[in-house]
Each structure stands twice: as C-alpha cells, then as structure tokens.
Structure 1
C-alpha cells in the first residue's frame, strides 16, 4: 500500500537545513533556519537556563503527567509577560493559558478552536508570512487569505494596503497578526498603526490571533508587547500563540503557550474547557521540562532580571550584525541600497533577493537562505560576514 504514497515536497525551511547538513563544503553558511548563533556559530544555552536546570535537577521528585493545560504557574507567568503583571486581564482572571509543544502547537490549537467553536472558515495572514502558517491553518480546515503587508519597492510596511484589505474581513473570519519582529520581513507597525489596527478590529469584529514568537528581540521585553496590549484595551476577546524558543534559547524543548482572553471569567472558563478537549485529542498533555525552566526563571526576581539582560545582549548582537551587513555591502561597492536591513527588527530580513539569486548563493557559494529571500541575520557573525556579503554582491 505504501508504494502508492507520493513523496512530499521538502519543507522550505527545515528541508533547507537538511540540504545544508549534507553539503560537504567547509565554508558553507546556514542563514535559513531561525536560530540565534553567537560569534562562534553556536546556538548557546543561556546562563539563566543552566541555573534553572540545576535547581530543577536538585529539587525534582517526579516525572508524572502534567494536567491537560500544563502547569498553572507557567500559565500565570506567561500572562504576566504578555500583558504585564498588573493588567486587569490578570487581576480579573479573564485569561486562560494552556502550555503547548512550541508556538507551532499553540497555533494549531488556536486554529482548531477557531474552526470548531467559532464557525470560522477563513483566516487572513500577512503577505508574506512564516512559511508554516499556511500548512498549520489549512490542516485544521481553515482557508488562508492574504492581506497586503510588504511594499517590495520601498522595503517598508504597506500599511494603507493592509488597512484596505482588513476592512473587508468579516466577523465570521479570523486575522493573524505578528506580535513583533515580523517573520519574514522584520518590519513592524508603529504605535499609532497598532492603534489604528485595534480600532479596525473593534469595528469589524473579526477574531484576532496574535503569533508572538520573538518577544524581547525588537526593542525590549515589555516594549515588544505594545501591539498586543493596545489590542487588549480595545478588543475584549483575543487569542495568542506564544513561544519561548528564541528568547530563552529553548528551541528543542518546544516551549509554547496558547492564551485565550474573554470579557468575562465564566465565559473564559467555558471556552477553555473546549480548548482542553482539543488538546486531549491531540497530544493529551504537554512536555514538562522546558516550561519548568521558564517558570523557574520568571518566578525568581533575580533570575528574571538576568534573563532580561541576556535577551538584551542577544538583541544588541543582532542589531550590530544588521549594521555591519549594511556597511560591508556598501564597502564592497554594491550599488543597491540595503540600509533597510538596519531598520528592521528581530532575527529576519526580507532581503529582496530573487529565487534565482538565492539558488546561485546555494550552488556557487554554499550560502543557504530561504527561497523567498528571507535571511536569518542572527545566523551571521563578524567572522563570516564578509564571505556572505561577497557572495551576495556576486549574484546581484
């Protein structure tokens, strides 16, 4: 029977990683998969994570199952990061959080909840968006519709186009928004634009889903929640899929969260009961270790302060790489203006390189980036910067 099964196409990101690993060239550079690397090309374990794991190892007494929604204290800490510990959403107990296997798991739970309980058939996503969004949403039964986001000619946000498209989104549809550090463009709305989007969402009444995977990588841990908190003031019901892969460096621990916000405590309880039925039929209950690490750090004032500094160090490192990339390309005599790279946020840059140029970078230089032209700036270093920029210059 299996002979009738056709081979699936490679994943545009993880498949690229497999091709990179099979490449025997010593000067190859992987700028495809979204992981942070230090100057030595290593994805480090944060010092606060090591300390939290040490404490857990000493105090751990069981490996028993967690509840369907995971650890309650983890949920409280997630909500504090998202909304601020003194927010009325928390004091009035309007939010419910389920611990999930990564941000991707949270997105899938959100998608199934939207389809099963809200009778939503369509979800609007930015054009472009993370390569896996479409697959996750379609697998849950949603039809994916694009809204304008990126102005390729000017390397900026097409906010007028975004507003025009979302003005047509109905109350029986959902809209996905990137909380910060938009993937793949690195371009985020301003404070005023977030306010306009929140006003539009209130007026149109569509379901709002935030994908919040890079908190702390744009400006700061609290500053990066500005868009979400602006919406929380205007829209009484929200869904949030968040992840700690990047800002805690817990990539392979798969630490995520699905958070539901309602206008009433009892409504939140009823809705969350349905979320738990979705989880039970999917992975039953979440893995424990990574979430315990996050909880240990966030619940300890000293560890949390050290973690915030570690996030700042990663953020500043990426900002420095953006600046160096722009300067190096300019020094190499590249005529195209790449200054937009320095103005973008987070790990990724939408470079504007064509699929043909991307293919040449891979074949001729061993430089691996996603076919859309998305570059993981956090995969660069001062050691490989000139090599990468020379390769880019050669294919332009």
Structure 2
C-alpha cells in the first residue's frame, strides 16, 4: 500500500524556517514565518488571553464535546466582531473550525458540494494554502491580476478586467484586509467597484479575513467585508483568531455562510454541521471559548483591544522606519510603498535571485517571492535590513 505514495512538494515556508534554524549567524533575521513578534522576538500570550485562561481554569467543570459547529456563543461573538449588523443575523449560518485554514477548507468543500462546476477566482498572488487546497479538492482556479511589481500596489485595472469574466455560480476569493502576501489593500472606492462587478456578474464573494485589527483598526479593517456582505445576496466568510488574539496553536476559526434570506439558514447550518462531521467531527473549543469570554466581558475586551492596538501601531512604526531608512540610503522614495502597505506582510517585488542574495550574504530570510513579515523586525534590525536591501540592489 504505502509503496504507492509519492513524495509531496516541500512547504516553502516550513523549509525556510528550518534553514533559518540551521543558520549559525547571530545576525540572522527571520522574516518568513507569519507570526507576530514583539521587540524582543517573542510571540507573547496576550494579557486578556492569560486572564481568560485563568478564569476558565477556575470555572470550567467539563470537557465534554460542544456541538458539531461549536459553541453558538462563539459564533455570535465572532459574527458581531466581523459583521456587526451589516446583514440580518438570521441569514448567517456559522461553524467553528480548526483555525482560519479550517474555515477556508470547509468553505471550499461547501462550494464543491453546492456547485461542483464552480470556478474560484484567486488573486495573483494569494496565500499559498488557497491554491494547494483548491488543487487538492479538484476545484478549478482562475487567477486574477492583483499585485503590480513595478508600483508595489494593486493592479486594479487588471483586477477588474479579470473579475468581469466571472459568471453566476463562480466564486471570487477576496482578502478582507492586510492582503497576504503583498500588504497592498484596496481603497474604499475600489471596493465599491469590485462590489459592482460582483453584482453584475452574479459571482459569489468569499472573503478570507485573517488579520482584522492589524491594518487600520478593528472597525476599519472589517468595513470592506461588511459592505460586500450587505451588497450581495450570498457570501462566504472565513475568519481567523490566530493573529488578532495571538492564539496560533489553539486553531480557532469560523466559517460564515450568508444566504439571501432566513429561509435558507437551517439548510446551510445543517450542511456546515455535516461537513464538520465528515472532516473532524467536533471543532476544538479552548481557543474559541477564550475568544467568547473576552468579547463578552467589557474589561477583558477593553484590555484586548488596547493590546491589539499596540501591536498594530508597532507594525506601522516599523513600516515607517524601514521606508524612511531606505529613502535615506537610496536617495529616492521608491520604497515608500512599505509605509502604505498594511498588516504583517509586504512584498518587495524583487526577483528570487535577490532574495537568495539577501539570505546568503546577509542572513535575511524571506519567502522566495519576496514576501517579508514586517513583524519579524524590531527597531534595531530595521537598519540592518535596509542596508542589505540596498547592497543586493533590490
């Protein structure tokens, strides 16, 4: 049996992590793995999470299963956080999942079940797992233009031209904020035009929102997702708590399926429960329960929001420092896009050989397509990175 297995392609980010670990240089800098790090290089447990865990340890009296779609209180809390009152809540089916990746996977499973011939339009570039999961499930992918390597911004004209080729029954996968891997976001006017294309083509939007609170603020980062959901009859949303609650290893996510009316709610909810049952039965609860506790308690929520804002402004400060240092060294403003991008990531828009030179000559590790994790920097390493970028001729 096992002799028929074939070796699978190595995950590039995991391989990069191992290479970084094996590098003996003390001056090495890890900008590959997508986790937030503070100024000391630590990915800390947030204060509100610690407090909620302590409370849970004292109060929890059972570890019995939750329902197939998780605790309804978690779904309500997350729907409020992501959507507020943008759509009637009785039109939203929701299921807890193992992280945002689990939500994405279940969304694709739902698409395949509901519309086997659906094509999924994905931005070029997009998060690699979008592509690998779609390929594994045998769902047709259609790339749409998104990132302009010259301007390091959005190729919006190309994006719109490509999205106009979608049809009713197709799905358009969008990033809610802090586009991974580029950091280049749409502005409000551009989102309005995307919505118009969705309405004209009849394609269904699927929004992956994994970084709410990391860009311009909790409410600001959710604005586009809310507007899209309110403007079309149906929508899928995959939300992650890994980044904004700092609970990466707890694998906490939620899939939302928004219908045109409340009449479809029961069928959609039952379908999400069925899909969970086939995949992992009951979703993990620990992280979801902590999130529910924090969002439902004024003091915990306030402290969480304050710490999240510190995280956001820290990344913005690093962006501005890096853009300023590069302007000083290069004598030009061609790196100004770094201060304009949002979230953890930016894509330098350079070639793989330059990325290799950064790694070999300077011990700076980033993904081969030049995606770098801004949160992997601190105020001391920004000048080191800036000098290396100029030295290799990015």
User: Scaled by the length of structure 1, what TM-score is found?
Assistant: 0.96
Asked whether the 8 Å contact 1:147–1:162 carries over to 2, the reply is yes
Once the two structures are superposed, residues 247-270 of structure 1 have per-residue CA deviations (whole angstroms, 9 ceiling, x without a partner) of 011111111110111122230210
The structure 1 residue matched to 2:173, chosen from 168, 172, 176, is 176
Once the two structures are superposed, residues 217-268 of structure 1 have per-residue CA deviations (whole angstroms, 9 ceiling, x without a partner) of 1111111111111112210211000101110111111111101111222302
The structure 1 residue matched to 2:216, chosen from 199, 212, 219, is 219
Q: How does 1:305-320 map to 2 (within 5 A)?
A: 305-320=302-317
Who is 1:303 aligned against?
300
User: Is the counterpart of residue 139 in structure 1 residue 136 in structure 2?
Assistant: yes
Who is 1:188 aligned against?
185
Residues in 1 aligned to 2:87 and 2:350: alpha-carbon distance in whole angstroms: 45
Q: How does 1:117-266 map to 2 (within 5 A)?
A: 117-266=114-263
User: Is the counterpart of residue 372 in structure 1 residue 369 in structure 2?
Assistant: yes
**Runs of 5+ in structure 1 lacking a partner?**
none
Residue 361 and residue 144 in structure 1: after superposition, are their counterparts in 2 closer, same or farther (change >3 A)?
same
Shift of 1:141: 2.1
- Give the total of aligned pairs: 393
Asked whether the 8 Å contact 1:12–1:131 carries over to 2, the reply is no
Residues in 2 aligned to 1:226 and 1:233: alpha-carbon distance in whole angstroms: 11
Who is 2:62 aligned against?
62
Asked whether the 8 Å contact 1:48–1:307 carries over to 2, the reply is yes
Who is 1:281 aligned against?
278
User: Scaled by the length of structure 2, what TM-score is found?
Assistant: 0.96
Shift of 1:390: 2.0
Who is 2:335 aligned against?
338
Stretch deviating more after TM superposition (306-315 or 331-340): 331-340
User: Is the counterpart of residue 98 in structure 1 residue 82 in structure 2?
Assistant: no
Stretch deviating more after TM superposition (65-74 or 194-203): 194-203
Who is 2:385 aligned against?
388
Please provide the CA RMSD for this pair: 1.4
Asked whether the 8 Å contact 1:124–1:147 carries over to 2, the reply is yes
Residues in 1 aligned to 2:51 and 2:329: alpha-carbon distance in whole angstroms: 44
Who is 1:41 aligned against?
41
Asked whether the 8 Å contact 2:150–2:349 carries over to 1, the reply is no
Asked whether the 8 Å contact 2:36–2:344 carries over to 1, the reply is yes
Asked whether the 8 Å contact 1:184–1:349 carries over to 2, the reply is yes
Shift of 1:155: 1.8
Residue 267 and residue 129 in structure 1: after superposition, are their counterparts in 2 closer, same or farther (change >3 A)?
same
